[in-house]
Amino acid sequence: MDLGLTGKKAMVLGGSRGIGWFTAELLKREGAAVALCARGAEGVDAAVRKLSSIGDGAVFGDAVDLTDGAATRTFVRKGIEALGGLDILIHSASGFGLANSEEDWQRSFDVDVLAGVRAVEEALPALKESDAASITFIGSMASKFHFGRPASPYGPVKAAMRAYANELAQTHGKDGIRANVISPGAVWFPGGSWDKQKQDNPKFYAGVEKSIPLGRLGTGEELARIIVFTASPAGLWLNASHICADGGQVKAVD
Residues that bind ligand NAP (CB under 6 A): 14-20, 37-40, 43, 64-67, 92-94, 111, 138, 140, 184, 186-187, 192-194
Specify the residue, 111 or 127, whose C-beta has the smaller distance to ligand NAP.
111
Specify the residue, 46 or 240, whose C-beta has the smaller distance to ligand NAP.
46
Specify the residue, 16 or 134, whose C-beta has the smaller distance to ligand NAP.
16
Report the DSSP beta bridge partners of residue 184: 245
As measured in angstroms, the least distance from the Cβ of 190 to ligand NAP is: 10
As measured in angstroms, the least distance from the Cβ of 239 to ligand NAP is: 21
As measured in angstroms, the least distance from the Cβ of 87 to ligand NAP is: 21
Using DSSP's 3-state secondary structure scheme, residue 61 falls into strand
Report the Cα–Cα distance between both ends of the chain, in Å, rounded: 27
As measured in angstroms, the least distance from the Cβ of 2 to ligand NAP is: 27
Nearest residue to ligand NAP by CB is 18
CA dist., res. 162 & res. 111, Å (int): 14
Q: Give the CA distances from residue 232 to residues 18, 74, 149, 239, in Å, rounded to whole numbers and listed in that order.
A: 20, 25, 35, 12
Specify the residue, 140 or 232, whose C-beta has the smaller distance to ligand NAP.
140
Specify the residue, 129 or 145, whose C-beta has the smaller distance to ligand NAP.
145
As measured in angstroms, the least distance from the Cβ of 138 to ligand NAP is: 4
Specify the residue, 2 or 45, whose C-beta has the smaller distance to ligand NAP.
45
As measured in angstroms, the least distance from the Cβ of 183 to ligand NAP is: 7
For 98, phi then psi, to 5°, come to -110, 0
For 200, phi then psi, to 5°, come to -85, -30
For 169, phi then psi, to 5°, come to -60, -40
CA dist., res. 84 & res. 109, Å (int): 30
The alpha helices in the chain, defined as continuous H runs, are 18-29, 41-52, 69-83, 102-108, 115-129, 154-172, 193-200, 202-211, 220-231
